[in-house]
């Protein structure tokens, strides 16, 4: 239920959007959606570079380099600079409030339209709420499909208790960039190609064997002809004539 809700809310693309997730099993299985859109990175200079995050909670980011590694990977791949704003745990539970906050923060933090701002608030009980704003230029990358993919990655890594808080966001953004910047190949295509290769290989083997058998028969016939004495051919002709006239 949490994944579905997050994806639906992420899919409502506009100037400002929000998302929320309820708790779910840490052992749940998540299937990340395929990327079906060819996306081109934003041109150099679209972003007026800023920092990467704000930890207003004060207890989420202990290793800044760990967090920024994934955010920078996203930026390098897409041309969109992400920014994660982490509120104090349990301070905001209203999605509409997070929506308004995200809108206000975007104008305060950035002077361009090529940022992606994620405002995150953990409720302290195994779930979280978030709001986000997509700059108008960034929407060419962060479309409905891309937002759904990011939402699923965040939810997947949030449920992974082996990850640190920094790794949740770092991996989610890095993996999202890798997926959305290339079209996901359907497993049917390589299977079909393999099947076609197998069929061609079988046909080739059959044809080669048939030709080899034909050549062998020709060789055996030729050897038989060469090994037959010449006078035998004359005797065969006389025998054939005798048989012919005897029948008459």
Q: How does pLDDT run across 96-107, given as a tens digit for each residue?
A: 899 899 999 999
Higher pLDDT, 148 or 240: 148
Taking 50 as the threshold, does the pLDDT of residue 235 lie above it?
yes
pTM for this predicted structure: 0.68
Taking 70 as the threshold, does the pLDDT of residue 40 lie above it?
yes
Distance CA 18, CA 133 (A): 8
H-helix or E-strand spanning residue 122: strand 115-122
Distance CA 209, CA 207 (A): 5
Beta carbons within 10 angstroms of residue 135's beta carbon? 23
pLDDT in tens, 148-202: 999 999 999 999 999 999 999 999 999 999 999 999 886 554 554 556 666 666 6
Share of the chain above pLDDT 90, in %: 58
Confidence of residue 143 (pLDDT cuts 50, 70, 90): very high
Share of the chain above pLDDT 70, in %: 67
């Amino acid at each position: 239920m949490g994944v579905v809700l997050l994806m639906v809310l992420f899919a409502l693309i506009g100037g400002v959007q929000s998302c929320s997730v309820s708790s779910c099993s840490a052992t749940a299985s998540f299937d990340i959606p395929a990327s079906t859109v060819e996306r081109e990175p934003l041109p150099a200079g679209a972003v007026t570079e800023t920092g990467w995050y704000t930890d207003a909670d004060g207890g989420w980011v202990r290793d800044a380099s760990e967090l920024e590694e994934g955010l920078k990977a996203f930026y390098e791949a897409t041309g969109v600079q992400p920014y994660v704003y982490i509120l104090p745990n349990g301070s905001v539970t209203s999605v509409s409030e997070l929506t308004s906050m995200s809108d206000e923060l975007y104008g305060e933090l950035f002077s361009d339209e090529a940022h992606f701002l994620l405002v995150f608030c953990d409720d302290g009980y195994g779930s979280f709420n978030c709001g986000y704003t997509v700059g108008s230029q960034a929407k060419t990358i962060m479309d409905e499909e891309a937002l759904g993919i990011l939402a699923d990655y965040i939810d997947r890594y949030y449920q992974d208790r082996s990850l640190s808080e920094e790794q949740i966001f770092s991996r989610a953004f890095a993996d999202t960039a890798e997926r959305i910047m290339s079209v996901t190949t359907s497993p049917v295509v390589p299977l079909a190609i393999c099947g076609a290769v197998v069929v061609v290989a079988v046909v080739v083997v059959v044809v080669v064997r048939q030709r080899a058998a034909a050549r062998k028969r020709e060789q055996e016939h030729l050897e038989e002809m060469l090994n037959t004495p010449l006078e035998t051919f004359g005797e065969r002709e006389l025998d054939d004539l005798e048989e012919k006239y005897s029948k008459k």
